[in-house]
Structure 1
Amino acid sequence: MIVSEKDRDILARTLWGEARGESLAGQIAVAWTIRNRVFDGKARSWWGEGYSGVCQKPYQFSCWNKSDPNYVFLIGIKQIVFRELAQARIAADQVIDGKVDDPTGGATHYHATTMPKAPAWALKAKQTLKLGRHVFFKDVP
C-alpha cells in the first residue's frame, strides 16, 4: 500500500488529537489501532479507506468532530505546538513504515480511562492492553 504525505499528516494529527500528552509508546499504540482498521478486511465498507479515510470518517475519532475543541488545530486554524506534533509524526511514521510491532495485539478500538463510564461496546470486547490513559480492545461486536 502506498501511503501519501497527506495520510502521514492526517495520522499524526489524529494521534495528537487523540493521544497528546501520552508517551511515544502510547501514541504508537493508538496508531496501531488505526493501522489495524486500515488493513482490516472490512476497511472499504466500514472503517474507511486508507489512513485519511479511517481517521476522518465521521464519529470514529472524536478529535475530527467539528464540535471537538481539537478540530481547529487539526485543520490548521490554530497551530499545534511543534514538539507535540513532531512526536506524533514520529509515532505515525514508525507505525506506517512497520518499524515497530503492534503492542495492542490487534486492537481496533480504544477508549480513554478518563471517561466516566466505559462505552457499551467495551463490555463485550476483548481487552488487549492498558497503556497510559487508554484501554485497547479487539473482537468488538
Structure 2
Amino acid sequence: MTATEVDRDIFARTLWGEARGEGLAGQIAVAWTIRNRVNDGKARSWWGEGYVGVCQKPYQFSCWNKNDPNFVYLSGAKPIPFREFAQAQIAAEQVMTGKVPDPTGGATHYYATTLPKAPAWTVGAKQTFRLGHHVFFRDVP
C-alpha cells in the first residue's frame, strides 16, 4: 500500500492526540497498533481502509471524537505545537516505512493506564507489551 501525504498527516495527528506525552518510543508503539490494523490482510477490514480510514474510524481512537479536547487540534481549529507534532511525524514515518520493528508483538489494541479500570475488551485478549501509560493487546475477542 502506498501512503499519501494525507495518510501521513492523519497518522501523525493521531499519534500526537493519543500519545504525545509518551515520547518517541511510546508513539512508535501506538503507531504499530495502527499499522497492524491497516495491514490486517482483509479486503474490507472492520478497522477501516488505509491509514486515514483506520485512524478516523468512529470510536476507535478517542482523540478523533468530536467531544475530545484533542479534536480542536486534530481538526486544525488550533495549531498543534510544532516540536510535539514533529516528533509524531517522525514516529509515523518510521513505522510507515518499516524503519523500526514492532515492539508490540502484533498488537491491534491498547488502552491508557490512566483509565479507572481496564476496558471490558481486554478479557480474553493477549497482553503483548506495556510502555509508559499504555498496555498493548492482540487476539482481542
TM-score tier (shorter): over 0.9
Distance in 2, Cα, partners of 1:123 & 1:108 = 15
Question: 4+ residue stretches of structure 1 with deviation over 2 A?
Answer: 41-45
User: Amino acid of the residue matched to residue 110 of structure 1?
Assistant: Y
Cα distance in 2 between the residues matched to 1:43 and 1:75: 29
State the match for 2:11 in structure 1: 11
Q: SS of the counterpart of 2:21?
A: coil
Structure 1's unaligned 5+ residue stretches are: none
Identity score, percent: 79
- 1:98 aligns with 98
Matches within 5 A, 1:31-70: 31-42=31-42, 44-70=44-70
Look up the equivalent residue of 1:73 and give its one-letter code. Answer: Y
Instruction: Report the alpha carbon displacement of residue 43 of structure 1 after superposing the two structures with TM.
Output: 6.3
Q: How does 1:79-94 map to 2 (within 5 A)?
A: 79-94=79-94
Aligned residues: 141
TM-score (norm. length: structure 2): 0.98
* Secondary structure at the counterpart of residue 127 of structure 2: strand
The Cα of 1:124 is off from its aligned counterpart by 1.2
Whether contact under 8 Å (1:37, 1:43) holds in the other structure is no
